[in-house]
Amino acid sequence: MNRRILTFAIACALVLTLCAQGLAEQMTVITANDNAKVYDAGGDVIGALPANTELALTGVKGNVCRVEKGGKVAYMMKADLKQAAVETPAETVAETPAVQTATAYAAVEGAKVYSAKGKVVGTLSLNTEVTVTAVKGKICQVKLNGQTGYMKKAELAAQRVEKKAEAAGTVCATAYASVDGAQVVNQAGDVIATLSLNAQVSVTATKGNVCQVTVNGKTGYMLASTLSCDKTEVKAETPVTEIKATAGYVSVDKAKVYDKTGKEIATLAQNAAVSVTAYNDNLVQVATGTTKGYMKKSEISETPVGSNNKNYTNGANNSNGPVGGSTVGPARGTAQEMDWWTSGIQKIFARGTVAQITDVATGLSWQEKRTGGINHADCQPMTAADTAALKNAYGGVWSWDRHAIFVTIDGVNYAASMNGMPHGGDSMPDNDFAGHHCIHFTNSRLHVNDKVDSQHQKAIKKAAAATLE
């Protein structure tokens, strides 16, 4: 990420003025209190920082500031931040030149170079060589590519810094995903890959509880707690009830089949037919062609997806929950249009509320929970079956396209719009949906730019004008 000029000479009293107007450039701030809360874009608390933690302030709206640290973006209350104290200006360094020049190296990644007035004019990667021409106190005058600047002595070293991959407990150079749905993120915190249980990665470096990994040619970061040196054994739990072979169907695409040791032996497409020969609370024993193994019970249904089908239970015609469709029929009748800001829809569809979603175009329905969101509702399908139904509404391909929908809560239909692309935070890892997606109501806004989206509003109007029979 390119770094913009950072003003250091500004007085602390001007921070509030800049906050009120919005920032034209980055500013370095520090936390004013211990345990200052940090929020994600959905408004959920994701951590706390001690006093005097340095952050880059990149934007402000009202009492909320957008901050960055280590390439990750988050949000904090303005009252928990203050202008960072810095050493400026550096002009006097030149008045006491060193007896001779010396070679030094950037001791940290992103070491800052300042102008004589204390503005950041650049950053250096670890071990970038510079020439020190003068020193005073904690500030060094340096030259690089014919340009003169100033750096903190603490961010320089007399010798190159040796880069080593730190040990990470049980995580090895070759590691395996220890949980199904383990996430790989980039430096901005965006999910770039979701791994199945026992997927192999190469660990290239670790720091604390975070590992830098390479998988499928991509470099990203994973929590050490989601990796292990050895593959995780997946076994059929006991007791296993054997039954007469019964027909079943795969309810999700790319469903995994494992042997008794937990090794993945096959991947099946949605609606692939299998023969179920045994089951317990979580797994089913299946056979398909010459392949015999174990599958998650939640990924097998008694009928093909798309026919309001039921999960496989024990061969009886009863349901464990929705697979490709809701356990209740789709919404009927018309839907009310509700303003996100002035009506009561935010309380009706409060965080944690489960609603039935009906796609106006296809008539498919499923259940979702609101898990976050401020400018609109961030939602996630309740189960893998509900995820399959949502994907079916988009023709089997995830898409940012806006769809007109009915959101049904306590028997009342509300006109809304959704996109069909998993993204961002994921608080429900067992539903085969890597992230959340967005549901909009009248006049709700996007999180990315705080603006009303015309395509969502058009889809809401379509839902409000629809009658489902």
pLDDT at residue 165, rounded to an integer: 41
pLDDT at residue 100, rounded to an integer: 63
pLDDT at residue 425, rounded to an integer: 82
pLDDT digits (tens, 9 = 90+) for 122-135: 888 888 888 988 88
- Say whether the peptide bond before residue 422 is cis (omega within 30 degrees of 0): no
Alpha-carbon torsion (226, 229, 231, 232), positive or negative: negative
Alpha-carbon span 360 to 413, nearest angstrom: 12
Alpha-carbon torsion (350, 353, 355, 359), positive or negative: positive
* Residue 417 predicted with pLDDT over 90: yes
Q: In this predicted structure, which of 161-170, 261-270, 443-452 has the lowest mean pLDDT? A: 161-170
pLDDT at residue 407, rounded to an integer: 96
The mean per-residue pLDDT over the stretch 267-291 comes to 80
Alpha-carbon torsion (163, 167, 173, 175), positive or negative: negative
Furthest-apart CA atoms within the chain: distance in Å: 92
The encoded tokens of residue 260 equal 């008794």
pLDDT at residue 97, rounded to an integer: 47
The encoded tokens of residue 85 equal 């104290």
- 81 bridge partner residues: 31
- Give the residue, 32 or 85, on which the prediction is more confident: 32
pLDDT at residue 233, rounded to an integer: 67
pLDDT at residue 163, rounded to an integer: 55
- Give the residue, 3 or 189, on which the prediction is more confident: 189
Alpha-carbon span 272 to 429, nearest angstrom: 24
The mean per-residue pLDDT over the stretch 184-204 comes to 82
The mean per-residue pLDDT over the stretch 355-373 comes to 91
The mean per-residue pLDDT over the stretch 339-353 comes to 94
Indicate the DSSP class of residue 373.
-
CB neighbourhood size of 202 (10 A): 13
pLDDT at residue 341, rounded to an integer: 93
Q: DSSP letters along 211-224, please? A: EEEEETTEEEEEEG
What percent of the chain has pLDDT above 90?
Answer: 18
Mean of per-residue pLDDT scores for the chain: 78
Alpha-carbon span 188 to 306, nearest angstrom: 37
The mean per-residue pLDDT over the stretch 131-144 comes to 86
Query: By C-alpha distance, which of 356, 401, 404 is closest to 379?
Result: 356
Contacts with 139 (C-beta within 8 Å, 6 or more apart), sequence order: 87, 90, 93, 150, 151, 152, 153
pLDDT at residue 310, rounded to an integer: 41
Angstrom CA distances, 161 to 109, 126, 178, stand at: 10, 8, 33
pLDDT digits (tens, 9 = 90+) for 247-256: 788 877 888 8
Contacts with 341 (C-beta within 8 Å, 6 or more apart), sequence order: 443, 444
Task: Read off φ and ψ for residue 175, nearest 5 degrees.
Answer: -130, 170
The mean per-residue pLDDT over the stretch 74-79 comes to 88
Q: How confident is the model at residue 305 (pLDDT cuts 50, 70, 90)?
A: low
pTM, whole model, 2 decimals? 0.36
- Give the residue, 291 or 89, on which the prediction is more confident: 291
- Helices H, strands E: what count in the chain? 4, 36
Query: Most confidently modeled of 42-46, 61-65, 249-253, 350-354?
Result: 350-354
Q: How confident is the model at residue 380 (pLDDT cuts 50, 70, 90)?
A: very high
Q: How confident is the model at residue 118 (pLDDT cuts 50, 70, 90)?
A: confident
The residue type of 43 is G
pLDDT at residue 306, rounded to an integer: 55
Q: How confident is the model at residue 354 (pLDDT cuts 50, 70, 90)?
A: very high
Angstrom CA distances, 39 to 42, 45, 68, 70, 372, stand at: 8, 4, 12, 16, 11
Q: In this predicted structure, which of 8-17, 29-38, 227-236 has the lowest mean pLDDT? A: 8-17
pLDDT at residue 238, rounded to an integer: 45
Q: In this predicted structure, which of 5-9, 62-66, 76-80, 241-245 has the lowest mean pLDDT? A: 5-9
Contacts with 408 (C-beta within 8 Å, 6 or more apart), sequence order: 331, 355, 356, 357, 358, 414
